[in-house]
Chain A
């Protein structure tokens, strides 16, 4: 039997495939339904937050920052409560990262402010002496891609039934709703409202002018995203 396999490349390939595919089948498939249930208090992203998440991905922030707090005292002391599977239910893709050149950002929204991020993105070493993080000054000039963020919201709502416009239970027993705009124009208007609130806490005059003129710089979007990480 063995020798026969060695002489028949096609069946040999099938045997190799079965051997390697088996681990994946057993490891991955059965957990799919269970692991994707959101925990109480987990909300889908707003349009602006999602646009900020795209900025985060565009600049590979995940190459140096993790979003995964492991259940050790030293990590919970430093970053907050350890991560729960359900907290990631609306993360597509996941952004756990694999290297902490900089600190974890899973709950950065709990202890950093808009103002802090603004200064830090302009000049990291000026805020944190000794920092090796590069500056991200182009984020103040480039505009965020609200269209694509809205397209993604529509997609996940349609295909994966992510609960936009639906009541979501919060930890304190209240209910919240995350809106999915009916049209692209409406999405733009909503994102701009959100952006105005953030720009109000910022000092950069170019950013304030841009938002006043109805535009949303990348920096505003990414701060909205970072502030949502709690």
Chain B
């Protein structure tokens, strides 16, 4: 055997870093196209009449959400898992050939699924359930990928040196379990080809649940997929990367543990708020509202814990764009976990549901919190993974401000659009007739849709800066040695 000292092995982390950047750009590019289509419908024909079927808003919309959720975010979760997991368990992937093989298999199968998803969604093969659009053959592949990740988590835990599991590992485990349960139950379907004895499309299936039940299961999934895809794993990241980058231990480790159990307990109940005023039982809608409000507590527990971690160290926020990204992320986390419960209050929901305010809420959460945190994590990982300093600090700063402006334009325009439209839908004139026809409530949104498209475009420009910065970091930035990598990440001018 060679006698090099044992090192962490970031092979798999690097692979997922690559897909994080690529799929992030794809997902957000499609999102920007959609935004311009809503402002200027002519964009639906951007590649001509012949390809209209594939460039149309309705075909691209699921591709946008799925590329951002299952492409960008999931890749980010896995890139950080294959980095953070080794470090806080103090065990290297290089110590187990089996885990290394699993990791590579994980990535290869994931790529296959991505290709299948993009192809099938463009062809219009979808179950129509939001964030669960994939037909059964892809669902099966997704389950396989997920099981492999689970084996990787518990395999690495099995050979760990550090006896206690760091709080981030708790969150990764919860992500794994939560999504597994939700995904399996929501995607229960019967392939019609086999049930009917070989008639029709082989990939088509019919949901096991009908009507109201189907909606109940879908929003139990839809809401909690957000919980376990956009909240839990991102909290895992910030609990590791912020302390590491700033050199400050978590302000209160006890609070982080409590917030964990609080979140686990409360989050799943809040799904009912998607179905207020629908045909699901009343008590459940009320529970959805109440628990959504209670949910503020554990969410803010984590966010405040992060901000307090920086206590006495605020000069670092000014000095380091990397810390800026993380602090803004946790601020947006507080913001959108306050906004969400407000929207779940029944009277507010009556106004906000079905409008662009909901779209705004999703995006301040995802652009402000999820994407900022994932990019910060990748920035922190890059010097340690590639043994080079971050290529350009000023580029990072530029990116930070462009994207922050983009997010602000996005959510402010969608707030106004949503509330305007909600008010117009319900307005009656003095004779008790509806004051506006539906189309009036559409045309009035044009300026806000345009502002939103500009905001989205700014964010996408920031993504390109991010990709360029990462590429240069990987290929041509100054080489650094171990001693420079202890706390704050080294950055070039």
Q: Which of B188-196, B305-313, B319-327, B388-396 contacts A (4 or more CB under 8 A)?
A: B188-196
Q: B132's closest neighbor in chain A, by CB?
A: A93
Complex Cα distance A227/B130, Å? 25
B145 CB to closest chain A CB (Å) equals: 19
- In chain B, positions 194-223 with a C-beta closer than 8 Å to chain A are 195-197, 199-201, 204, 206-207, 209-218, 220
- In chain A, positions 67-96 with a C-beta closer than 8 Å to chain B are 68, 70-75, 77-78, 83-96
Complex Cα distance A62/B49, Å? 23
Q: Is the CB of B196 within 8 A of A150?
A: yes
Q: Is the CB of A154 within 8 A of B173?
A: no
- Is B332 at the interface (CB under 8 A from chain A)? no
- Is B314 at the interface (CB under 8 A from chain A)? no
Q: Is the CB of A155 within 8 A of B439?
A: no
Query: Which residues of the partner chain A approach B44 to less than 8 Å between Cβ atoms?
Result: 134-135
Q: Which of A26-34, A170-178, A199-207 contacts B (4 or more CB under 8 A)?
A: A26-34
**A145-B350 in contact given A17-B177, A134-B58 (Cβ < 8 Å):** no
Q: Is the CB of B264 within 8 A of A16?
A: yes
Query: Which residues of the partner chain B approach A128 to less than 8 Å between Cβ atoms?
Result: 439
Q: Which of B61, B200, B443 has the most CB of A within 10 A?
A: B200
Q: Which of B174, B207, B215 has the most CB of A within 10 A?
A: B215
Q: Is the CB of B177 within 8 A of A138?
A: no
Complex Cα distance A19/B174, Å? 10
Q: Is the CB of A92 within 8 A of B58?
A: no
Complex Cα distance A78/B271, Å? 28
Task: Give the A interface residue count (CB, 8 A).
Answer: 86
Q: B44's closest neighbor in chain A, by CB?
A: A134
Q: Is the CB of B214 within 8 A of A92?
A: yes
Query: What 4 A-B pairs have minimum CB-CB distances, sorted nearest first?
Result: A88-B211, A148-B200, A23-B268, A151-B200
User: What are 22 pairs between A and B in contact, CB < 8 Å?
Assistant: A12-B170, A17-B177, A19-B261, A19-B265, A27-B220, A31-B216, A35-B211, A60-B58, A62-B128, A70-B278, A78-B434, A89-B210, A91-B210, A93-B127, A93-B218, A94-B210, A94-B218, A99-B356, A129-B439, A134-B37, A147-B201, A159-B195
Please list the residues of chain A having a beta carbon within 8 angstroms of any beta carbon in chain B.
Answer: 6-7, 9-10, 12-13, 16-17, 19-24, 27-28, 31-32, 35-36, 57-64, 66, 68, 70-75, 77-78, 83-103, 125, 128-138, 142, 145, 147-152, 154-156, 158-160, 184
Please list the residues of chain B having a beta carbon within 8 angstroms of any beta carbon in chain A.
Answer: 37-38, 41, 44-45, 49, 52-53, 56-59, 61-62, 124-130, 154, 157, 163-165, 170, 173-174, 177-178, 181, 185, 190, 192-193, 195-197, 199-201, 204, 206-207, 209-218, 220, 224, 261, 264-265, 267-269, 271-272, 274, 277-281, 284, 287, 350, 353-356, 358-359, 425-428, 433-434, 438-439, 442-443
